[in-house]
Structure 1
Amino acid sequence: MAHKVDVHVGKRIRQRRWLTGMTQQKLAELVGIKFQQIQKYETGANRVSASRLWDIADALDVQVSFFFEGLKTEGVEEGAANDPIPVDLMSDKEAMDLVRSYYSIPENQRRRLFELARVLSDVA
């Protein structure tokens, strides 16, 4: 059975890769491995060594610490039970589609959309 840290790191690799629009094949090429290995990392089936995680972080343009963000520690739950935001927001496909679409909008329009969303959430 995969360790929870390996699964979490794998999810974060997949999320970042997906957000950047990169394929498993492209990431594998940048890191110098086969895409099947990326698949195994993303599912948590294989552990990512420190040096390989460094290379993946470089390829995905993030700090190594990015892959550990949001990791729960010894029984500490994130978020309140009545919080409308899911604990693992980045695993929600709809949320990921929204984020990706948001960043594809030109910056000046994106800022206006952000302000509109803030006003609508205050009213709700």
Structure 2
Amino acid sequence: MKHPVDVHVGKKIRYRRWMVGMTQQQLAESVGIKFQQIQKYETGMNRVSASRLWDIAETLEVPVHFFFDGVQDGEIETEITAQPAESDTDLLADKEALALVRSYYAIPENQRRKLFDLARVLSEAA
């Protein structure tokens, strides 16, 4: 049975990997394992050891605690970047949403703010 924290950590690995535009194969090669193991980590099927999580964090250029953001006393908080373990609408699993977010953050900050304001106006008009 999957532990909710393992699932949460896996989702955060997948989220960050997508945000930096890295494939499972690239991440696996960087930390010295096979991509199938990354798949198992990302689904929560396998637990990530402390040393492996350290290597993954260094490769993805985030602090180790990034993977636990949204976990409070073993319970998963509901956030846009940390969906609950049983969510049917997992934005982190939506490749189009992740590609959109990655592209959004590639835009210079002043233009990004204007795009954000435009999106907000359009969504209110819809």
Do the structures match in fold with TM over 0.5?
yes
Higher relative contact order (CA 8 A, sep 6+): 2
TM-score for the superposition, normalised by structure 1: 0.76
Match of 2:98? 96
Whether contact under 8 Å (1:15, 1:90) holds in the other structure is no
The 1:35/1:103 distance shift into structure 2, 3 A limit, reads same
Q: 1:109 aligns with which of 90, 108, 111?
A: 111
Q: Is the 8 A contact 1:30 1:59 kept in 2?
A: yes
**Matching residue of 1:82:** none
Q: Which runs of 5+ in 1 are unaligned?
A: 80-84
Q: Does the 8 Å CA contact 1:16/1:60 hold for their aligned counterparts?
A: yes
TM-score normalized by structure 2?
Answer: 0.75
The whole-number CA distance in structure 1 between the counterparts of 2:9 and 2:81 is 18
Q: CA deviation at 1:115?
A: 3.8
Partner amino acid for 2:114? R
Q: 1:42-121 alignment to 2 at 5 Å?
A: 42-71=42-71, 73=73, 78=78, 88=83, 90-91=91-92, 93=94, 95-117=97-119, 120=121
Structure 2: gaps of 5 or more residues = 84-89
Secondary structure at the counterpart of residue 71 of structure 2: coil
Following TM superposition, where does structure 1 have runs of at least 4 consecutive aligned residues deviating by more than 6 angstroms?
none
Tell me, in whole angstroms, the C-alpha distance in 1 between the residues paired with 2:24 and 2:76: 32
1:19 and 2:1 equivalent? Answer: no
Q: How many residues align?
A: 118
Radius of gyration: which is bigger?
1
Structure 1 residues 72 and 90: alpha-carbon distance in aligned structure 2, compared to 1, 3 A threshold: farther
User: Are 2:53 and 2:64, in contact at CA under 8 Å, matched by a contact in 1?
Assistant: yes
**What corresponds to 1:29 in structure 2?**
29
| Residue aligning to 1:10 | 10
Change (3 A) 1:116 1:11: same
